[in-house]
Amino acid sequence: MVWRQWGSTRAEPLILLHGGFGSWNHWVRNVEVLAGHYRVISADMPGQGDSDDPDQPYDADSLAAIVTDGVRRVTGESEPIRLMCFSFGSIIGGLTAASLGERVVSYTGVGAAGMGARSPVTQQMIRITPDLPAEEQARLRRHNLGILMFANKANIDPLADHIQEINMARNRIRSRPISLSDRLSRTFPLIKGRINLIWGGEDVTAVGYFEARHAALREIQPEAGIAMRAGIGHWVQYEDADWFNATALDLLSRG
């Protein structure tokens, strides 16, 4: 695995795990702000970004085992840690948090996947193949970003398109079947630290299911932190980075 680090080596570690078809750059608008308070350590997860492929066959557990080993290598042996995980990464991060037990001060899911039923948003997305002209690929990337990642298509800027382009080219695993499961919900009772959830209020992977998900979480952990940003989509930490950074720091400070 490839890991990148920002901030003081003396600060408490904050581990960031990205979403499916992603890499560390899902957090490009967040790492510098968060690094003013924590030692930010951001992964490229197995089979994505610059990291090597996992052994076949892989599943959520085997991917989480690799990530857990990585976290142990990049942090001190008994050092308390915080985990912040986006979308597909929330499932892998939840299993990692469960494995690390009392070391995990808090776990924060951002647009968390793995919480069961969700709307079939991917049916509206269009597959992009290498044989298409570059202009058509760019148009379809923006279309897909507007379906899944952003609430307001006007917020899809050249950087977001570039991130999507390079991440798609480097993805070698199938994360969607794992994301569509309820694995994170089933893992919540095993997480020792405080649990937080951050959402865009227009996140198409969760609209219509927020209340049920939050009620289920609070049955497990009544003090869980939940924050939502109206008018913002799935990639909340990019689409409204200022709100997200302030909200994340506030939630992280509570546990």
Pairing type for strands 39-44 and 2-6 reads antiparallel
56-84, pLDDT tens digit by residue?
Answer: 999 999 999 999 999 999 999 989 999 99
| Domain boundaries defined on the chain | 2-119+174-253
Assigned token pair, 210: 């927020």
3-state secondary structure of 110: strand
Give dist(CA 226, CA 30) in Å, integer.
Answer: 19
Please state whether the peptide bond connecting residue 57 to the residue before it is cis, i.e. omega within 30 degrees of 0: yes
Beta bridge mates, 15: 41, 83
- Average confidence score pLDDT of the chain: 96
b/e for 193-216, b at 16 or more Cβ within 10 A?
A: bbbbbbbbebbbbbbeeeeebbee
Answer whether residue 173 shows pLDDT above 80: yes
User: Is it the case that residue 119 has pLDDT exceeding 80?
Assistant: no
User: In CATH terms, is domain 2-119+174-253 a member of 3.40.50.1820?
Assistant: yes
Q: Rounded to two decimals, what is the model's pTM?
A: 0.96
